[in-house]
Amino acid sequence: MQAGRFVSGALLAVGVLLAGCGGPSEEAVGEQESTSREGLVPDCSITSAGTVYYTSSTRLRIVGYRGCGCGSWTSWGTTSTYAQSTNACIPPVSIPED
């Protein structure tokens, strides 16, 4: 009975060694990270889409912008739940402190 457990344990150990630990290699992780980072910033040569962020649903006061509307990736200010898509370039605005 103990011999059976030993053989089963040995086979399990060999299987784990042959299969590896199950995680990706360091090279694959590096490739994945660089690919995912590249996907975060769009190619601004083919789009002018951006998002304007406001303080409230009335959309009277701009608090931030993220997008390609200024010829390259632009990100300034803060984001909020009140947002609107745009194809216009929204330059940074001075935001008065409350």
State the amino acid at position 39 in one-letter form: G
Cβ atoms of 81 and 95 within 8 Å: the answer is no
Tell me, yes or no, if the pTM score tops 0.75.
Answer: no
Domain assignment present for residue 92? The answer is: yes
Domain assignment present for residue 14? The answer is: no
Per residue in 67-95, pLDDT (tens digit) is 987 778 888 999 999 999 998 877 777 65
The predicted pLDDT at position 93 comes to 72
The predicted pLDDT at position 11 comes to 56
Domain assignment present for residue 48? The answer is: yes
The predicted pLDDT at position 83 comes to 96
Q: How many structural domains is the chain composed of?
A: 1
The predicted pLDDT at position 53 comes to 95
Mark 80-92 as b/e (b = at least 16 C-beta within 10 Å): eeeeeeeeeebee
> For residue 93, what are the domain limits?
42-98
Per residue in 19-71, pLDDT (tens digit) is 444 545 555 555 555 555 555 667 888 888 999 999 999 999 999 999 987 77
